[in-house]
Amino acid sequence: MNRLMTFGITIVLLLMVSCNKYLDVKSNGIFVVPNDLESLQKILDASSYINNNICAMGEAASDNYFLTESNFKSLSEHWRKFYLWDNDEYTFGNDWNRAYLTIYNCNIVLDQLKKIKRKPDNELLYDQVKGTALFFRASHYLSLIWTFSKAYNSATAQDDLGIVLRSSSDLNEKSYRASVQQCYDRILADLIEAEQLLPVKTLHVMRPGKRSAYGMLARAFLSMRRYDEALKYADLFLKQNKSLLDFNNQMQVDLTKQYPFVQFNDETDLYLEMSPNGLIGQSVSSVDTVLYSSYHQDDLRKEAFFKNLSKEYLSFVGSYSAGTTFFAGLATDEMLLTRSECLARNGRVEEAIGDLNDLLQTRFRSGKYSPIVLDDPKIALDLILTERRKELIFRGLRWIDIKRLNLEGANISIKRRVEGKDYVLGPNDNRFALPLPMDIIAQTGMPQNPK
Amino acid sequence: MKFVCNLFIALFLCGANVAFAQKQKVTEMHGIVKDKNNEEILIGVNFKTKQGVFLNKSHVGGRVTLSVPRNADSLIVSLIGYQRVTVAHDYFMHSDVLLLEKQDYYLAEAVVNTGYQALRPNEVTGAVDVLSNKMLNEQTGTNILQRMRNIVPAFRYDNKPVQNPEVNKLNISVRGLSTINGSLDPLIVLDGFIYEGDIDNIDPNSIEQISILKDAAASSIWGARAGNGVIVITSKKGRVNDGGTRVSFNSTFSIQGKPDYQSLYTIDNSSFMEVEKMLFDNGYYKNALNTTKYIAVTPYVDLLDKRSRGIISVSDSARWTDYYKAQNGVYNYSDNFVSKPITQQYALNLNGGNKFHTYGFGLGYTHKSSELGAGDQKINIRLNNGFRLTERLQVDASLLLTDQKSKSGKPALNSLSYSGKSVPYMAFYGPDGEVVPFEREFRKLFLDQNYQNGYLDWSYYPLSDYRHSTSEVKLREVFASLGVRYKLTSFLDLNLSGQYQNQRTDKRNLDDENSYLARRAINQYSEVNQQTGVAKYNVPLGGILNNGIVSGTSYTLRSQLNISKTFQKHRIVGVIGAEMRENRTEGSSFTSYGYNDDPLISTAVDHVTRFKTIPSNTNRTITGAPAYSHTNNRFVSAYANFSYIWQEKYGLSGSFRKDGANVFGASTNDKWSPLWSAGLFWELRKENFLRSYEQTVDQLKLRATYGTSGNVDLRKTRDPIGTISTDSYTRFPTIIITSLNDPSLRWEKIATVNLGLDFSFLNRRIAGSVDWYFKKGKDLYGLTDYDYTTWGYQPTITKNVASMQGKGVDLVLNSLNLNKTVKWSSRLLLSFNKNKTTKYFNANGNTLLNFLNDGSGITPMVGYPLNGLGAFKWMGISADGLGQGVLDGNISAEYAKIRSSVALNPENSESILFVGSSKPQLFGNIINTVSWKNIEMSINISYTGDYYFRKPVTSYANLYQKGVAYPDFDKRWQQPGDERYKDVPKMTYPVLSGADSFYQAADINVLKADHLRLEYISLGWNREIMFNDHKSKLMLYLNISNLGILWTANKLRIDPEFPYKLAPQSVYSLGLKIDY
């Protein structure tokens, strides 16, 4: 009996001693605490949480499309108000939360990186992970500031309301709106640091390389109207690779297909996608008729970009996503046009037109393109800007282009006609800084953009 | 040796039985009173003379010493729960032991099984209900929870579908809620161990008894998961000294009425088609018909479109229109798909035992077929054996096996819609009796034009397709336990026990080559060269087989000391122990394509490439690549539970438990949670001041307990937790952060106070109990809005932000109203439960706007019940047919402004009001049983009250999108003047923003839900027969359940539990039981 009792007690004691070890077992096979470089790279490879959260509201507020009366009516009030630049009552499920989801993931990576030592045997991966996180954070900050703030104006940037800069993944850190100047400073600093860390070559266009950092810097500087720097980085981008899609080559662009482009095509340097949006989807939106008619009849973009999906008007099918989603990443065509614009502004008309000819050569039917010859910088610039709009349609660039060009005096306004009534968004209107979500304003007490 | 020793002592004592105490003119005698069944020594037995004079007595170590007056001729011996006996006054002069037999009624109630120990009712301080085998057999359900329905106080079965299956599987609550976002299910314990299997596996016919532990003192012994109550199920076993083998067989046949689809409201065909025509004319379908041309539209819209395109002639269009007009969609459905559900149950139980060995064997077979022809058959096998190896050593082993197989049936009504829109004129045959393809997803017109050559038939034929798309689930479960009990000393037992459970479910979903789903998948992924007509099938021709295996394994190892010691007036009963438990699940799934059963074949497919699929032209991979899952939850616990009883009059109890769990990412300290409870009882009847009422009062016991329990959600942690996945574009392995890193998360804490009174009067003619309780939960997990700039993954996050309280009263009253040849007894159950949120962070503002949902989910708002309904103040219909409310004191139809005015001024808005709880706060049953000779009849009527429901009303947006409407549609405003007597807004297109939801949330549509329901009537006839010289019992029974509503508080007589929904039809069960 005593032996049995001792046995029993021993078992009890053994249980108590070993239980903490017993409890260290993982409770779910797919759980993981990301604390090594490989896991951090995996966070950055989750494209829906990293690449595909570029803001779409700006595109939806722009002038590349319109809604027919019946399509307008079939939409919910939420989208109808958006269409008329009048929705400041929307809540979660928007560009803001999606872009900040990417930013959170980048911040988690940057926070966890601080706990890992950079050593000679891991420095390549370490730098790649850090550079990638900085790059994506900056890209989404840039997309946010284009959408929710006024265009950069060096005179007022110190006071203009920017977006929220999150320096860590800590939930308890309060959000506040930095100034536009602070935001751009952060974006540029992050991108410049990323450029030094990122590898030259990457495994997939979903991952950024050095060239992507050049491209994003060119975008940022162009939107700040700092054309010399934009030129420098666009040039660096193109020096590495300036391959373009030939629209005459059926392997690259198959005009018979519903979506003529191939995803991850040769022109794509970095793949980003816009968040879904109820206004610009191809089943709802119709391409602006004036814009459509501005393409030359031998311009293959007319067929590659637009399809008549059996309605009165045309729908946009030319996304490099080769589907219904909108590509918003970096591609050679954009950089050529950026360099071309900056060269023209710099008076280097011949080089500028050279870039333009290089691009259009691939867009026109074989043998139908006659290269442009021009020497007036003003006319050249206008031509380049027109081609920019035609080439980069539904890329998420039009909204910021309108804003910055209006600061240059372009005097672009957007008009909508609904139920016999005209709605106009005039140049430099306050509403060019779209309203933040209502619940975010309520939560944080941050100032809303003025109407 | 020990046995001999005992015998010796007994003999010795018997000899010394009698001593004379001449002086008091009384004779002093000694003896032992034992339970006839298990020979347990009974204490607290009362002795009185025929004249009613109680005798002095004293207990020493279970022996009673009596002072019997010399003039007494006979003695009446009584004890609660036992049959009264009359013995000669000198009984103890001749024999030492008196055996008492349990009262039938109390046979099972005599033991409260907490799972860790079996207690006598008089040792319990907590709130416990015990259900006997007889009570469980009153109803005939095939699930043990169905059998418990309507006979347990404080038990509420929810008829609304489960809101969140992750925290709520059983959809029952014991004493209301004690958490806001934590687990809501009571804990199920089977034969002493936590049961992780499917509750459906337990065969109700093999269950002996169920104890329900309701308060903290009773349940805290089960630790962290016991906050919602514990249901302790004990299966049948052989008993010591049972005599020969007892055989029991029963068989039940049940048939249920066909669901009454006609009771569902549908708009009449002409009106519905008018609505469709109006929408068509207004361009509502323009986009669908012209842009997303491949998506199905309803048959009438299809006609209108074809007509407008000139595809069909005027006469054809008219012929079809007339044909549709003449259809009765729900009738067509019901006629073609629905039959009467039938259930058969058979159970054979053999039990027996002698002094050294007990055994039990049970075999159960259940077969069910549902109204849609889905079949389900189940075999249960039970084996148990107990061996008394030596006087001190007892070994018990038991094994429960379940084998279940179920097969899918015909399609459900709600699956038959045209791209999400249902129509009242649904038809499966055309005017010439031909089968019409059902355009469930895709439009035939478009597919025929674009994707016909080279493709398989795209059509869905509901009348026959279910034969080609079948799913089969096989479930096997083993539940085995082994216990070794060693008697260390007379008062100390060591128990070592273990349990192993494994449940494996195999799902097999086969869409054969002729099925719609297989044809659809093959077509969607095919690439047909339009010039050559050559097809490339990325999904190969043949069937599609989805396989899924889930295997759950749990084990428990337990080591426990049981103490039971009586010395003089003191008694201590208790347990102390430790256990470890693991619950592991493993799952895998994969899909085979090009599958065929005979000859057996399947073909490999490319799960990596994103193919362009038609007709939607989206890029997709072929789904069904092998996937695996694995979870493992571990717990370690140490516990103790003690009761101290003095003179059977006062009792104290206390329990302590510490639980640890492998919470992922938590530091060691956060893995552990201590829980404790304390309680006391006071048997007033034993007090001198009640002595003179001893005749009338059998029992009067006061109980009080206090205890804490906790709750941890293993999904909520402090580290960022990633989930491994694969990127859909790059196929790179990815990690997605699905759980936010929040260092401030803690365990939930719930404290409960319970005060109870057990009473029994007039020799148990009236007996019952009342319990009052109060629960307070703090640090509860709450979803709160947050600044999603910080994460962006979801709109709300979980924090320990909430507090709540609940209180209630449970009453059980049993009475024997008539005790002559006709016996009439009543059992009344009444439960009252109220709860409210006391703390909650609500960033959207603490406004009643939160209560405008249907009330089925939990809406935490400080000061209000957890499930509640609010409503807009309704001011009738305006002259132009719009619903109106109040805005700043004026009548208004500006819905958005009304909402924002409420949001701005939540405290005292005139526009909105809180109506009441959406879950019953008062509910109960009354069961009346009348028996005459060998016939017995019971009627169970339930009352559910003190709550409200929202009457479903027509939303025009829903009507346009889904074809759904409610009877108020017929009473809508249609012309000026209607507003004087109508309360339903006019139909508008486009839908007026906010109008639908304002009207749906109007106070006129929130109704009182109180109702009386006739739950069941059961009729039994039994007879003792001699069979092979054996006394046997034959019993025939009939049970009719779901007899419907007797009374509703709402004047419209809408069943508040199934408003405009299919209510369960009556079930008629006929059964036979033989005990041999």
8 Å CB contact between B194 and B188: yes
To test the contact with chain A by mutation, choose from B2, B787, B897 the residue with the greatest count of A C-beta atoms within 10 A, namely: B787
Facing residue for A28 by CB, picked from B618, B664, B990: B664
- Angle B283-B289-B294 (CA atoms, 0-180°, nearest 5)? 160
Instruction: Summarize pLDDT for B767-796 with one digit per residue, the tens.
Output: 999 999 999 988 888 777 788 999 888 888
To test the contact with chain B by mutation, choose from A14, A15, A52, A314 the residue with the greatest count of B C-beta atoms within 10 A, namely: A15
Which residue of chain B comes nearest to A206, CA vs CA? Answer: B730
**Dihedral of alpha carbons B167, B169, B171, B172, sign:** negative
8 Å CB contact between B617 and B295: no
8 Å CB contact between B576 and B561: yes
Q: Inter-chain contact A26–B662, Cβ cutoff 8 Å?
A: yes
Q: Inter-chain contact A104–B792, Cβ cutoff 8 Å?
A: yes
DSSP 8-state code for residue B13: H
Q: Inter-chain contact B724–A32, Cβ cutoff 8 Å?
A: yes
Q: How far is CA B697 from CA B123, B682, B943, in A?
A: 19, 15, 30
- List, in sequence order, every beta strand (DSSP E) within B512-626: 526-528, 535-537, 543-567, 570-596, 601-603, 611-613, 618-620
8 Å CB contact between B550 and B517: no
Query: Domain boundaries in chain A?
Result: 37-243+252-444
Which chain A positions have a beta carbon within 8 Å of B660's beta carbon? 19-20, 23
To test the contact with chain B by mutation, choose from A28, A84, A163 the residue with the greatest count of B C-beta atoms within 10 A, namely: A28
Which one of 1.10.260.40, 2.170.130.10, 3.30.230.10, 3.40.50.620 gives the CATH number of domain B112-239? 2.170.130.10
- Angle B705-B709-B715 (CA atoms, 0-180°, nearest 5)? 170
What six digits make up the tokens of B294? 């491949």
Which chain B positions have a beta carbon within 8 Å of A176's beta carbon? none
Instruction: Summarize pLDDT for B837-869 with one digit per residue, the tens.
Output: 888 876 566 788 888 888 888 888 888 998 999
Facing residue for A310 by CB, picked from B283, B290, B736: B290
Which chain B positions have a beta carbon within 8 Å of A33's beta carbon? 665, 719-722
- List, in sequence order, every beta strand (DSSP E) within B392-438: 393-407
Please tell me the distance from the alpha carbon of residue B295 to that of residue A391, in angstroms, as a whole number. Answer: 32
* CA neighbor of B853 nearest in space, from B868, B874, B833: B868
How distant is the Cα of A224 from the closest Cα of chain B, in angstroms? Answer: 25
Instruction: Summarize pLDDT for B414-444 with one digit per residue, the tens.
Output: 999 999 999 999 999 999 999 999 999 999 9
Q: Report chain A's terminal Cα–Cα distance, integer Å.
A: 87
Model confidence band, residue A39 (pLDDT cutoffs 50, 70, 90): very high
Q: How far is CA B9 from CA B13, B15, B19, B492, B567, in A?
A: 6, 10, 18, 21, 18
To test the contact with chain B by mutation, choose from A45, A87, A94 the residue with the greatest count of B C-beta atoms within 10 A, namely: A45
What six digits make up the tokens of B928? 């009346």
Instruction: Summarize pLDDT for A201-259 with one digit per residue, the tens.
Output: 999 999 999 999 999 999 999 999 999 999 999 999 999 999 999 999 989 999 988 88
8 Å CB contact between A277 and A79: no
**Dihedral of alpha carbons B963, B274, B305, B465, sign:** positive
* Other beta carbons within 10 Å of B318: 13
Please tell me the distance from the alpha carbon of residue A210 to that of residue A208, in angstroms, as a whole number. Answer: 7
DSSP 8-state code for residue A275: P
ipTM over 0.85: yes
Instruction: Summarize pLDDT for B236-294 with one digit per residue, the tens.
Output: 888 776 667 889 999 999 999 999 888 889 899 999 999 999 999 988 888 788 878 89
Which of B155-169, B351-365, B718-732 has maximum average pLDDT? B351-365
Which residue of chain A comes nearest to B722, CA vs CA? Answer: A32
Instruction: Summarize pLDDT for A250-299 with one digit per residue, the tens.
Output: 899 999 888 899 999 999 999 999 999 989 988 889 999 999 999 999 99
DSSP A353-389: HHHHHHHHHHHBPTT---------HHHHHHHHHHHHH
Range of lowest pLDDT (A397-401, B359-363, B746-750): B746-750
Identify the helix (H) or strand (E) that includes residue B422: none
Q: Inter-chain contact B660–A169, Cβ cutoff 8 Å?
A: no
User: What is the average pLDDT across A64-71?
Assistant: 91
What six digits make up the tokens of B1076? 């041999």
User: What is the residue type of B909?
Assistant: S
Please tell me the distance from the alpha carbon of residue A227 to that of residue A238, in angstroms, as a whole number. Answer: 16
Q: Inter-chain contact A46–B727, Cβ cutoff 8 Å?
A: yes
**What is the distance of C-alpha B153 from the center of its chain?**
15
How distant is the Cα of A372 from the closest Cα of chain B, in angstroms? Answer: 38
User: What is the average pLDDT across A174-194?
Assistant: 96
Residue B354 confidence (pLDDT): 84
Output the 3-class SS for B192-203.
CEECCCCHHHCC
Identify the helix (H) or strand (E) that includes residue B335: helix B329-337
Identify the helix (H) or strand (E) that includes residue B249: strand B243-256
Facing residue for B737 by CB, picked from A11, A105, A324: A105
Instruction: List phi, psi (to 5°) of A406.
Output: -65, -35
How distant is the Cα of A13 from the closest Cα of chain B, in angstroms? Answer: 9
Range of lowest pLDDT (B188-197, B345-354, B394-403, B1025-1034): B1025-1034
Coil/strand/helix, residue A296: coil
Which chain A positions have a beta carbon within 8 Å of B483's beta carbon? none
**Residue B842: burial class (beta carbons within 10 Å; 0-12, 13-18, 19+):** buried
- List, in sequence order, every beta strand (DSSP E) within B22-154: 26-35, 46-49, 57-60, 63-69, 74-78, 85-88, 97-100, 112-113, 118-119, 128-132
Q: How far is CA B224 from CA B180, B212, B940, in A?
A: 15, 17, 35
Instruction: Summarize pLDDT for A351-404 with one digit per residue, the tens.
Output: 999 999 999 999 999 999 999 998 899 999 999 999 999 999 999 999 999 999
Which chain B positions have a beta carbon within 8 Å of A34's beta carbon? 720, 722, 735, 737
Q: Does the pLDDT value for residue B1068 go beyond 90?
A: yes
Please tell me the distance from the alpha carbon of residue A446 to that of residue A403, in angstroms, as a whole number. Answer: 23
How distant is the Cα of B295 from the closest Cα of chain A, in angstroms? Answer: 12
Residue in this structure with the two tokens 């003449």, named with its chain if needed: B326
Q: How far is CA A290 from CA A66, A405, B245, in A?
A: 11, 20, 95
DSSP 8-state code for residue A395: S
Q: Inter-chain contact B792–A42, Cβ cutoff 8 Å?
A: no
User: Cα-atom radius of gyration of chain B, to the nearest Å?
Assistant: 34
What six digits make up the tokens of A94? 């928007």
Instruction: Summarize pLDDT for B964-996 with one digit per residue, the tens.
Output: 999 999 999 999 999 999 999 999 988 887 899
Q: How far is CA A57 from CA A69, A139, A395, A436, B766, in A?
A: 21, 16, 12, 11, 73
Please tell me the distance from the alpha carbon of residue B460 to that of residue B510, in angstroms, as a whole number. Answer: 16
Facing residue for B631 by CB, picked from A16, A28, A103: A28
Residue in this structure with the two tokens 């027996």, named with its chain if needed: B352
Cβ neighbours for B816, distance < 8 A, ≥ 6 positions apart? B764, B765, B766, B823, B824, B825
Q: The domain at A37-243+252-444 falls in which architecture?
A: Alpha Horseshoe (1.25)
Please tell me the distance from the alpha carbon of residue B917 to that of residue B915, in angstroms, as a whole number. Answer: 7
Which chain A positions have a beta carbon within 8 Å of B724's beta carbon? 30, 32, 42
Query: Domain boundaries in chain B?
Result: 2-102, 112-239, 261-337+428-465, 924-974+982-1070
Q: Does the pLDDT value for residue B644 go beyond 90?
A: yes
Which chain A positions have a beta carbon within 8 Å of B629's beta carbon? 29-30
How many CA atoms lie within 13 Å of A215's alpha carbon, on the beta-carbon side? 31
User: What is the average pLDDT across B580-589?
Assistant: 92
The class level of CATH for B2-102 reads mainly beta
How many CA atoms lie within 13 Å of B982's alpha carbon, on the beta-carbon side? 21
Q: Does the pLDDT value for residue A132 go beyond 50?
A: yes
Ramachandran class of B595: left when φ > 0, alpha when ψ lies in -120 to 50, beta otherwise: beta
What percent of chain B lies above the pLDDT cut of 90? 51
**What is the distance of C-alpha B1048 from the center of its chain?**
24
Instruction: Summarize pLDDT for B100-135 with one digit per residue, the tens.
Output: 877 654 433 457 888 888 887 777 888 888 888 888
Helices and strands of chain A, counted as H and E runs: 18, 11
How distant is the Cα of B1020 from the closest Cα of chain A, in angstroms? Answer: 50
Model confidence band, residue B715 (pLDDT cutoffs 50, 70, 90): low
Please tell me the distance from the alpha carbon of residue A276 to that of residue A319, in angstroms, as a whole number. Answer: 14
* CA neighbor of B641 nearest in space, from B124, B231, B120, B122: B124
Which chain A positions have a beta carbon within 8 Å of B294's beta carbon? none
Total CB pairs under 8 A between chain A and B: 244
Please tell me the distance from the alpha carbon of residue B295 to that of residue B443, in angstroms, as a whole number. Answer: 5
Which chain A positions have a beta carbon within 8 Å of B617's beta carbon? 258-259, 323
Model confidence band, residue B332 (pLDDT cutoffs 50, 70, 90): very high
To test the contact with chain B by mutation, choose from A20, A23, A95 the residue with the greatest count of B C-beta atoms within 10 A, namely: A23
Q: Report chain B's terminal Cα–Cα distance, integer Å.
A: 37
Q: Does the pLDDT value for residue A153 go beyond 80?
A: yes
Which chain A positions have a beta carbon within 8 Å of B630's beta carbon? 28-30
What six digits make up the tokens of B907? 């405290």
Facing residue for B786 by CB, picked from A24, A310, A443: A443
* CA neighbor of A413 nearest in space, from A290, A405, A67: A405
Instruction: Summarize pLDDT for B6-59 with one digit per residue, the tens.
Output: 333 333 333 333 333 334 467 788 888 887 766 777 777 878 777 767 776 766
Please tell me the distance from the alpha carbon of residue B124 to that of residue B131, in angstroms, as a whole number. Answer: 16
Which chain A positions have a beta carbon within 8 Å of B745's beta carbon? none
**Dihedral of alpha carbons B240, B241, B242, B245, sign:** positive
Q: Inter-chain contact A27–B632, Cβ cutoff 8 Å?
A: yes
Which residue of chain B comes nearest to A22, CA vs CA? Answer: B634
Please tell me the distance from the alpha carbon of residue B1057 to that of residue B451, in angstroms, as a whole number. Answer: 47
To test the contact with chain B by mutation, choose from A24, A31, A71, A206 the residue with the greatest count of B C-beta atoms within 10 A, namely: A31
Q: How far is CA B288 from CA B440, B455, B589, in A?
A: 15, 23, 36
